């Protein structure tokens, strides 16, 4: 397993994901934080609860690191994803991509978040004003090459 991937119920520390890519001397680090938004599809969001199939989610994150490293061999990528209840403004995901040059660091970080949304078995339960709903996005299939190509295209846009 990649040392840079983590599923945790504890609050995320943005510096922890930066430290995980061991940035000393490398040149560029891009970080991405996904935060709980206060609105979604016209609803006022109160809080979110994230559920994961933890063992497989960790494998999914490791797979994304493997894919990114194959695409950008000089990149070091770390992904921390939180589970459980989160309030508005809290970070649900933290990504760091380190690279000798900025372009690949930006691309790898963008690729990682796109792939998380495609294949990693984590689900948001949204509690909004007036109700609650499970959010359902993409069918988790890491073998779907079309989805992977799409994530690459977005990353390299």
Provide the binding-site residues for another protein, judged by CB under 8 A: 34, 50-53, 55-57, 59-60, 81, 92-93, 113, 116-125, 134-143
| In the complex, minimum distance from the CB of residue 100 to another protein, in angstroms, rounded to a whole number | 27
Question: 38 or 51, CB closer to another protein?
Answer: 51
- Smallest gap from Cβ 24 to another protein, in A, equals 28
Q: Is 122 exposed, middle or buried (0-12, 13-18, 19+ CB in 10 A)?
A: buried
Closest to another protein by CB, 66 or 101: 66
- For another protein, the closer of residues 53 and 106 by Cβ is 53
The pairs formed by 8-15 with CB atoms below 8 angstroms and a separation of 24 or more are: 8/80, 8/81, 8/82, 8/83, 9/82, 9/83, 9/84, 10/82, 11/82, 11/90, 11/91, 12/80, 12/82, 12/91, 12/92, 12/93, 12/94, 13/94, 14/91, 14/94
Q: Which is nearer to another protein, 43 or 59 (CB)?
A: 59
Least CB distance from residue 102 to another protein, whole Å? 23
CB of 25 to another protein, least distance (A): 30
């Amino acid at each position: 397993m990649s040392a840079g991937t983590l599923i945790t119920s504890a609050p995320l520390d943005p510096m922890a994901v930066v430290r995980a890519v061991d940035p000393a001397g490398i040149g560029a680090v891009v970080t991405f934080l996904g935060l709980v938004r206060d609105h979604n599809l016209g609803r006022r969001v109160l809080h979110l609860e994230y559920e994961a199939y933890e063992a497989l989610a960790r494998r999914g994150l490791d797979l994304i690191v493997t894919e990114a490293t194959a695409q950008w061999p000089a990149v070091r990528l770390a992904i921390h994803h939180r589970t459980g209840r989160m309030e508005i403004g809290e970070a649900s995901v933290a990504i760091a991509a380190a690279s000798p040059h900025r372009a690949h660091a930006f691309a790898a970080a963008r690729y990682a978040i796109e792939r998380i949304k495609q294949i990693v078995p984590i689900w948001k339960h949204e509690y909004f004003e007036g109700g609650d709903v499970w959010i359902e996005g993409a069918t988790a299939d890491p073998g779907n090459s079309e989805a992977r190509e799409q994530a690459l295209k977005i990353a390299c846009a």
